[in-house]
Protein backbone atom coordinates (compact mmCIF):
# COMPACT_ATOMS: atom_id res chain seq x y z
CA UNK A 1 0.00 0.00 0.00
CA UNK A 2 1.55 3.25 -1.10
CA UNK A 3 0.39 6.24 0.85
CA UNK A 4 0.49 9.91 -0.14
CA UNK A 5 -0.21 12.15 2.82
CA UNK A 6 0.12 12.63 6.53
CA UNK A 7 -0.40 9.93 9.12
CA UNK A 8 -3.49 11.76 10.38
CA UNK A 9 -5.27 11.20 7.08
CA UNK A 10 -4.48 7.48 7.26
CA UNK A 11 -5.93 7.32 10.78
CA UNK A 12 -9.08 9.13 9.60
CA UNK A 13 -9.35 6.70 6.68
CA UNK A 14 -9.11 3.70 9.01
CA UNK A 15 -11.61 5.20 11.47
CA UNK A 16 -14.07 5.93 8.65
CA UNK A 17 -13.67 2.36 7.41
CA UNK A 18 -14.42 1.02 10.89
CA UNK A 19 -17.36 3.42 11.23
CA UNK A 20 -18.86 2.33 7.91
CA UNK A 21 -18.48 -1.32 8.89
CA UNK A 22 -20.04 -0.73 12.32
CA UNK A 23 -22.96 1.24 10.87
CA UNK A 24 -23.62 -1.46 8.31
CA UNK A 25 -23.34 -4.11 11.03
CA UNK A 26 -25.93 -2.30 13.14
CA UNK A 27 -28.10 -1.93 10.01
CA UNK A 28 -27.78 -5.67 9.40
CA UNK A 29 -28.88 -6.54 12.92
CA UNK A 30 -31.70 -4.00 12.66
CA UNK A 31 -32.79 -5.40 9.27
CA UNK A 32 -32.81 -8.91 10.72
CA UNK A 33 -35.01 -7.83 13.63
CA UNK A 34 -37.26 -5.93 11.23
CA UNK A 35 -37.62 -8.98 8.95
CA UNK A 36 -38.41 -11.16 11.95
CA UNK A 37 -40.92 -8.62 13.24
CA UNK A 38 -42.60 -8.46 9.83
CA UNK A 39 -42.75 -12.25 9.57
CA UNK A 40 -44.22 -12.55 13.04
CA UNK A 41 -46.89 -9.99 12.15
CA UNK A 42 -47.83 -11.92 9.01
CA UNK A 43 -48.20 -15.15 10.97
CA UNK A 44 -50.00 -13.28 13.76
CA UNK A 45 -47.75 -14.82 16.34
CA UNK A 46 -45.82 -11.93 17.88
CA UNK A 47 -43.22 -12.71 20.53
CA UNK A 48 -43.49 -10.69 23.71
CA UNK A 49 -40.21 -8.84 23.14
CA UNK A 50 -41.17 -8.01 19.53
CA UNK A 51 -44.37 -6.39 20.82
CA UNK A 52 -42.19 -3.86 22.65
CA UNK A 53 -40.52 -2.69 19.43
CA UNK A 54 -41.67 0.41 17.57
CA UNK A 55 -44.09 -0.01 14.64
CA UNK A 56 -42.74 -1.34 11.32
CA UNK A 57 -42.74 2.10 9.70
CA UNK A 58 -40.56 3.50 12.46
CA UNK A 59 -38.25 0.49 12.27
CA UNK A 60 -37.92 0.96 8.50
CA UNK A 61 -37.19 4.66 8.88
CA UNK A 62 -34.41 3.84 11.35
CA UNK A 63 -33.04 1.16 9.01
CA UNK A 64 -32.81 3.55 6.07
CA UNK A 65 -31.12 6.17 8.22
CA UNK A 66 -28.53 3.58 9.23
CA UNK A 67 -28.05 2.52 5.61
CA UNK A 68 -27.72 6.17 4.57
CA UNK A 69 -25.11 6.86 7.23
CA UNK A 70 -23.18 3.71 6.25
CA UNK A 71 -23.35 4.83 2.62
CA UNK A 72 -21.94 8.26 3.47
CA UNK A 73 -19.14 6.78 5.59
CA UNK A 74 -18.27 4.21 2.92
CA UNK A 75 -18.30 6.96 0.27
CA UNK A 76 -15.74 8.89 2.30
CA UNK A 77 -13.63 5.74 2.69
CA UNK A 78 -13.63 5.11 -1.05
CA UNK A 79 -12.86 8.73 -1.90
CA UNK A 80 -9.98 8.79 0.57
CA UNK A 81 -8.72 5.47 -0.82
CA UNK A 82 -8.57 6.80 -4.36
CA UNK A 83 -7.18 10.17 -3.35
CA UNK A 84 -4.51 9.18 -0.84
CA UNK A 85 -3.44 5.73 -2.00
CA UNK A 86 -1.72 5.29 -5.35
CA UNK A 87 -2.39 1.59 -5.58
CA UNK A 88 -6.14 1.27 -5.00
CA UNK A 89 -6.38 -0.72 -8.24
CA UNK A 90 -3.15 -2.68 -7.89
CA UNK A 91 -3.36 -6.46 -7.77
CA UNK A 92 -2.75 -6.54 -4.01
CA UNK A 93 -5.49 -4.01 -3.24
CA UNK A 94 -8.20 -5.26 -5.60
CA UNK A 95 -9.41 -7.62 -2.89
CA UNK A 96 -10.35 -4.52 -0.88
CA UNK A 97 -11.28 -2.08 -3.64
CA UNK A 98 -13.71 -4.19 -5.66
CA UNK A 99 -15.79 -5.59 -2.75
CA UNK A 100 -15.86 -2.11 -1.19
CA UNK A 101 -17.13 -0.60 -4.43
CA UNK A 102 -19.70 -3.40 -4.81
CA UNK A 103 -20.94 -2.84 -1.25
CA UNK A 104 -21.16 0.89 -1.95
CA UNK A 105 -23.12 0.17 -5.16
CA UNK A 106 -25.55 -2.11 -3.33
CA UNK A 107 -26.15 0.53 -0.65
CA UNK A 108 -26.71 3.14 -3.36
CA UNK A 109 -29.14 0.81 -5.13
CA UNK A 110 -31.06 0.19 -1.89
CA UNK A 111 -31.36 3.92 -1.22
CA UNK A 112 -32.36 4.78 -4.79
CA UNK A 113 -34.80 1.86 -4.84
CA UNK A 114 -36.35 3.06 -1.62
CA UNK A 115 -36.81 6.68 -2.64
CA UNK A 116 -37.70 6.13 -6.30
CA UNK A 117 -39.67 2.87 -6.27
CA UNK A 118 -40.52 2.37 -2.59
CA UNK A 119 -38.48 -0.76 -1.95
CA UNK A 120 -39.06 -2.46 1.38
CA UNK A 121 -38.89 -5.87 2.96
CA UNK A 122 -36.87 -8.70 1.47
CA UNK A 123 -35.03 -6.67 -1.19
CA UNK A 124 -33.71 -4.30 1.43
CA UNK A 125 -32.89 -7.13 3.85
CA UNK A 126 -30.95 -9.19 1.29
CA UNK A 127 -29.22 -6.09 -0.07
CA UNK A 128 -28.11 -5.16 3.43
CA UNK A 129 -26.83 -8.70 4.00
CA UNK A 130 -24.93 -8.66 0.69
CA UNK A 131 -23.32 -5.27 1.40
CA UNK A 132 -22.35 -6.36 4.94
CA UNK A 133 -20.79 -9.61 3.67
CA UNK A 134 -18.82 -7.71 1.02
CA UNK A 135 -17.55 -5.22 3.60
CA UNK A 136 -16.68 -8.07 5.95
CA UNK A 137 -14.66 -9.58 3.13
CA UNK A 138 -12.80 -6.31 2.56
CA UNK A 139 -11.79 -6.15 6.21
CA UNK A 140 -10.56 -9.73 6.35
CA UNK A 141 -9.42 -10.18 2.74
CA UNK A 142 -5.76 -10.36 3.65
CA UNK A 143 -6.49 -13.33 5.92
CA UNK A 144 -8.68 -15.05 3.33
CA UNK A 145 -6.22 -14.61 0.49
CA UNK A 146 -2.89 -15.00 2.34
CA UNK A 147 -3.88 -17.50 5.02
CA UNK A 148 -4.02 -16.88 8.73
- Domain locations in the chain as residue ranges: 7-146
User: If we measure between CA atoms, which residue out of 13, 141, 142 comes closest to residue 84?
Assistant: 13
Per-residue pLDDT at 53:
84
Tell me the residue length of the chain.
148
Note the pLDDT tens digit of each residue in 89-133: 555 566 677 888 999 999 999 999 999 998 888 889 999 999 999
Regarding predicted confidence, which is higher, 85 or 71?
A: 71
Domain 7-146 has CATH 1.10.3210: no
Note the pLDDT tens digit of each residue in 136-146: 888 777 555 55
pLDDT tier for residue 148 given thresholds of 50, 70 and 90: very low
16-31 core/surface letters (b: 16 or more CB in 10 A; e: else): bbebbbebbebbbebb
What average pLDDT does this structure show over 25-34? 94
**What is the pTM assigned to this prediction?**
0.83
Amino acid sequence: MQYNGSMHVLVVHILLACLSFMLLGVALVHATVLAWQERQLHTRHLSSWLQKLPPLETMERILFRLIGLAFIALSLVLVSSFYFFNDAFSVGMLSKTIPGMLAWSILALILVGRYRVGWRGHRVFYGTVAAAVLLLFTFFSRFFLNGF
